[in-house]
Structure 1
Amino acid sequence: MWRWLMIGSALLLLSGCAGLLRVPGPEPECRGYLRELDRRVAAAGLHDGLGPPPAAYPYLRANRFLNSFEPELHQPELRRAWLDAGQALDQQARLRELAALPESSLHGLERPAGLPGHVLAVEQCAERLRRADRLDADDGPWPQAARALRIADDYRLWQRGVGLYPVTRWFIRAGVGRWQQRVRALFEADVAIVPPGLRYLPVLEPEAEQGRLYFTAAERDALGWPQLADEHWRLLFARFAPVIELDGAADHDRIGAPGLNPDGLPQVDTGLPSVYTYLSAVRFQSQTLVQLNYVWWFPERPEGDGFDLYAGRLDGLTLRLTLDAEATPLLVESMHNCGCYHQHYPLPGLQPKLRSTYAEPPLILPGPGPAETGLHLRLRQTSASHYVTHLTFAPLPDTGQVYQLRDYQELRQLAVSAGGPGSLFGRHGLVPGTERRERWLFWVSGVREPGAMRQAQRHTTAFVGRRHFDDADLLERIYQPVSH
């Protein structure tokens, strides 16, 4: 009898252990929590053009710059920095999503045990899952994570197939060539002689020059990214903030702060002149180069004479400066916020290769000269069409309206008049309601909605071949250092 009691007790003990083994640990709880959070964010329509993280690694997101390191991830220090950056991108996105989610969408969303508050749950779950997945280990599944995080190409092959792209691309390329000739004839690397109709100046920041010193002294991680405090980045943006001049003074030539009306369509408050900033990076000559991006918006591009292909709601420009390790600009670029009219203005120290590896040759114009202390980029745009016609480094003018520098991420969390915050950008990174008639001609290029305004990291900048504004090898494919 005692023998049977002992056997029965042992079986009960084993069954208890088995039950303990079946209890979900923190990792499955965290994975389920993040996936459910993503589901609710998607149901609320809060995933814009940058999208959700991959389902297998819901604590990581990427961009084309991070994608470029995939062949080098066997290096442990570089891999750790890569994972840190991907985790930071996801954290930023999730904090925005949590702030935008209405309380009703969070109702019933259970957090893992011991994690009070959704912000803490997001932070701690990322750490737990990264350890559980062993992505830092040399023999971990980081190759699978890198593949899952690849950014998709923004060109649609089916459009090119239906549009007989192998034939039609030659007509498009000829049209691009004619446009480039017209721009070359109109552009001058100097200050316009005729006074502008409108001028916008950055806020004068007495300590802006210190931004360059902080930048050059900063430590860099294994990816080559400077470790700077937010305040120091702000000073660097202030140092290079441009002077914006317009030929006209109509409402459609005034810059402002975008918002969404009750119908979810974009509008611009020109009573709040604003320029939005974000950081990006490019790789060149085995170095990581930081890029300062300045973005501004106009209410519209108005209808011109005749059948206007390019008119429509909202218009805008992105100005980008690529800096070397000493915070000296190497390249200035401008691009309309549709991804159209991408123009290059190289500075001393950089020269174009005889031939780039892009199918559509980039438009390279005379550079604005060296960025000497105390000088700011001074940029001139035409009325209505907002084409860039003059660009140079010059002293700050004495008069003009003052604009505020604002974080580009604000555009992903706008106040909607109908209630609740929402992104300016839709699921594919397009701004709703900004369609242009030119899409009827250029859809054969494979570009989604040609002419529509777009979100950063979703700009295609060529109709022939493939080119993105955020290509990590863009400089490498077009330029070489000036040999001394």
Structure 2
Amino acid sequence: MPKRYKANCLVANLSALLTAMVLQACSISPQKVEPSCEVILSSVDTLLHEHVGSLKGERVHNQASLRHNRFIHFFIGNQDLAEPSAPTQSQLIDYMGELAEQGLKAEWKTLDVDIANKWKAEYQITQPEQTIEQCINELNQQLQGHSRQTAELLATIPIDNDYSATAKVFGLYPLSSKVFASAIEKEQQHLAEGWLAASRSSLSGFTAKQAALYLPEPSLAKVNATDLQLDAFGQLASKQQQVTLLKWYAPQWLVENNTADNVPGVPVWQKQQLAFEHSKPLSFSHITYARHNNQTTIQLNYILWFKQRPKLSSVDWVAGEHDALIFRIHLTNKLEVIAYDSIHLCGCWYTLMLPQQRSYHAIQDSKVESVLMHRVNAADKVRISISADAHQIIDLQPTGDIAEVVAKTTYTLQPWQSLLALEKGQGYKSIYDSNGYVWGSERFERWFFWPMGVKQPGSLRRFGDHAISFVGERYFDQVHLLEDLGVQ
């Protein structure tokens, strides 16, 4: 056979083989690459941050599987100095992952249905909450396997700052703060005089025919301090013990009158407006934690929600829709009362109430406003007197028989978490907008008080965002708040 013929046959065979290979390759459909957990979690986190905001905890930049708050930031910042019994890095990651999971799930529940369905279709996910949980676990297991890199990541997390430095600059803070400090001192003096008068008066000075007494549902169960189940951070590990403690310490509320603006109730969605109803009196409860004398303290928060802070004059800067009052009990891990304190849900009107025997040395610092402090008789069961309309706490006493006949109503205790997802049409919506403010709670005061750096002053806001001083910087969830105020 001629060489030329052989060569042509070889070329023809190679050409046929290549053609077959190309045709076969074209006939095979490319395999679809499933998105990684990092991509999925980052995508849903970005989506929720944009459309819902943060309902629980603070986000960690570029790490959607972690969130933090001021309490956990204390442990992050003290790892090098930690005692042997302090939380490990692995426990920190678990805690932060749990916070991220709670936040993402709460936010997902309130996401617009159409937006949620579009995202699910894009990533072909049928069970988003389960996917969120699985991806957080997967990503955080990776973090726990690289301790040095994880330590470097944790070290970059900045502590939350709810004051605006820019507002202070443009508001000429060094000068304007002196004016505010003087006004605050006068207001505190006025409130102190009102407290003194109420403590000396029968029924806190209220008229028996107008006052209303709200009693918690009876609670016979009590947790013994020796039986407390605590985790590595000193937090209550038992859900049942949390509920039992909140019920046992639930206060009585004595409100000056029972007009529409002074009956506690609940916010509800009516079409596009966050409205209010008081068909059944309610108080909301929430547990937080702090530190005092090198121990974790248990903070029992009780919240009353009112329709509004009505106008008390023709020009009233602090009047507006919705008003809520927080009363907080600080307990040691032996269930001893350290202190009581209170704010409105805007962070305004911080008041410290100390048991008679509790040592206290007020911190003298001209750069930070003074604290309104009252001495009280501590007890497991207390009665709180609240003024009409302004909704200020003006007295606190251990519970006991009231000589005067007043209207008595039993209130229901509900978890604060329930307000993060209120029914709205066919879905759910939080009481907070994407910036963490209660819808429709803006106050006129924001146009005058902004030079102090407090963001949106007067607006009701989420837990974790409560700046409680106009002069200086102070937070309701400040980890060592009581010590920073001089409580021994």
TM-score (norm 1): 0.85
* Shift in alpha-carbon separation, 1:219–1:136, aligned structure 2, 3 A: farther
Do the aligned partners of 2:77 and 2:155 also contact (CA within 8 Å) in 1?
no
Render the CA deviation track for 1:353-382: whole Å, top value 9, x for unaligned.
242567112111112x1315xxx2111111
Do the aligned partners of 1:48 and 1:425 also contact (CA within 8 Å) in 2?
no
Do the aligned partners of 1:82 and 1:223 also contact (CA within 8 Å) in 2?
no
Distance in 1 (CA, whole Å) between partners of 2:149 and 2:87 is 14
Do the aligned partners of 2:55 and 2:103 also contact (CA within 8 Å) in 1?
no
Output the amino acid matched with 2:431: L
SS at match of 2:36: helix
SS at match of 1:351: coil
* 394, 398, 407: which one aligns with 1:393: 398
SS at match of 1:350: coil
* Shift in alpha-carbon separation, 1:112–1:73, aligned structure 2, 3 A: farther
Output the amino acid matched with 2:337: P
* 199, 204, 211: which one aligns with 2:213: 199
Residue 407 of structure 1 corresponds to which residue in structure 2? Answer: 415
* 446, 449, 456: which one aligns with 2:456: 449
Distance in 2 (CA, whole Å) between partners of 1:204 and 1:51 is 33
Do the aligned partners of 1:216 and 1:325 also contact (CA within 8 Å) in 2?
no
Residue 19 of structure 1 corresponds to which residue in structure 2? Answer: none
The Cα of 1:448 is off from its aligned counterpart by 1.6
Matches within 5 A, 1:247-262: 247-262=256-271
Distance in 1 (CA, whole Å) between partners of 2:371 and 2:346 is 16
The Cα of 1:251 is off from its aligned counterpart by 0.2
Distance in 2 (CA, whole Å) between partners of 1:105 and 1:115 is 13
Output the amino acid matched with 1:203: E
Give 5+ residue unaligned stretches, structure 2. 1-30
Give 5+ residue unaligned stretches, structure 1. 1-21
Distance in 2 (CA, whole Å) between partners of 1:114 and 1:124 is 15
The Cα of 1:78 is off from its aligned counterpart by 2.9
Render the CA deviation track for 1:329-351: whole Å, top value 9, x for unaligned.
11101111111111000125532
Output the amino acid matched with 2:387: T
Residue 17 of structure 2 corresponds to which residue in structure 1? Answer: none
* Shift in alpha-carbon separation, 1:396–1:217, aligned structure 2, 3 A: farther
1:427 equivalenced with 2:441 (yes/no): no
* 179, 182, 203: which one aligns with 1:174: 182
* 301, 318, 340: which one aligns with 1:293: 301
The Cα of 1:146 is off from its aligned counterpart by 4.4
Output the amino acid matched with 1:471: Q
The Cα of 1:115 is off from its aligned counterpart by 8.9
1:319 equivalenced with 2:327 (yes/no): yes
Residue 380 of structure 1 corresponds to which residue in structure 2? Answer: 385
Matches within 5 A, 1:68-467: 68-74=74-80, 77-107=87-117, 109=119, 117-132=127-142, 134-135=143-144, 137-148=146-157, 150-188=158-196, 189=199, 192=204, 194=206, 195=208, 197-207=211-221, 209=222, 212-213=223-224, 216-228=226-238, 230-264=239-273, 266-348=274-356, 350-355=358-363, 359-367=368-376, 369-371=377-379, 376-395=381-400, 400-416=408-424, 419-467=426-474
* 46, 62, 65: which one aligns with 1:59: 65
The Cα of 1:94 is off from its aligned counterpart by 2.1
Do the aligned partners of 1:112 and 1:121 also contact (CA within 8 Å) in 2?
no
Distance in 1 (CA, whole Å) between partners of 2:173 and 2:312 is 29
Render the CA deviation track for 1:93-133: whole Å, top value 9, x for unaligned.
1222333335533436469999973232222211211122x
The Cα of 1:41 is off from its aligned counterpart by 2.4
The Cα of 1:451 is off from its aligned counterpart by 1.3
Instruction: Give the paired residue count.
Output: 447
Do the aligned partners of 2:379 and 2:398 also contact (CA within 8 Å) in 1?
yes
* Shift in alpha-carbon separation, 1:434–1:365, aligned structure 2, 3 A: same
* Shift in alpha-carbon separation, 1:130–1:48, aligned structure 2, 3 A: closer
Residue 469 of structure 1 corresponds to which residue in structure 2? Answer: 476
Do the aligned partners of 1:301 and 1:315 also contact (CA within 8 Å) in 2?
yes
Distance in 1 (CA, whole Å) between partners of 2:111 and 2:58 is 15
Do the aligned partners of 1:262 and 1:416 also contact (CA within 8 Å) in 2?
yes
Distance in 2 (CA, whole Å) between partners of 1:478 and 1:244 is 27
TM-score (norm 2): 0.84
SS at match of 1:307: coil
Distance in 2 (CA, whole Å) between partners of 1:226 and 1:31 is 31
The Cα of 1:395 is off from its aligned counterpart by 3.1
SS at match of 1:370: coil
Residue 8 of structure 1 corresponds to which residue in structure 2? Answer: none
Distance in 1 (CA, whole Å) between partners of 2:398 and 2:304 is 19
Distance in 1 (CA, whole Å) between partners of 2:95 and 2:348 is 29
* Shift in alpha-carbon separation, 1:111–1:324, aligned structure 2, 3 A: farther
SS at match of 2:68: coil
* Shift in alpha-carbon separation, 1:24–1:392, aligned structure 2, 3 A: farther
The Cα of 1:39 is off from its aligned counterpart by 3.2
Output the amino acid matched with 2:417: Q
The Cα of 1:475 is off from its aligned counterpart by 1.4
SS at match of 1:454: coil
The Cα of 1:320 is off from its aligned counterpart by 0.4
Output the amino acid matched with 2:220: P
The Cα of 1:83 is off from its aligned counterpart by 1.8
* Shift in alpha-carbon separation, 1:442–1:193, aligned structure 2, 3 A: closer
* Shift in alpha-carbon separation, 1:193–1:110, aligned structure 2, 3 A: closer
The Cα of 1:30 is off from its aligned counterpart by 0.5
Output the amino acid matched with 1:192: S
Residue 21 of structure 2 corresponds to which residue in structure 1? Answer: none
Distance in 2 (CA, whole Å) between partners of 1:77 and 1:162 is 42
* Shift in alpha-carbon separation, 1:220–1:226, aligned structure 2, 3 A: same
Do the aligned partners of 1:282 and 1:475 also contact (CA within 8 Å) in 2?
no
SS at match of 2:329: strand
Render the CA deviation track for 1:185-205: whole Å, top value 9, x for unaligned.
110457525435222111112
SS at match of 1:435: coil
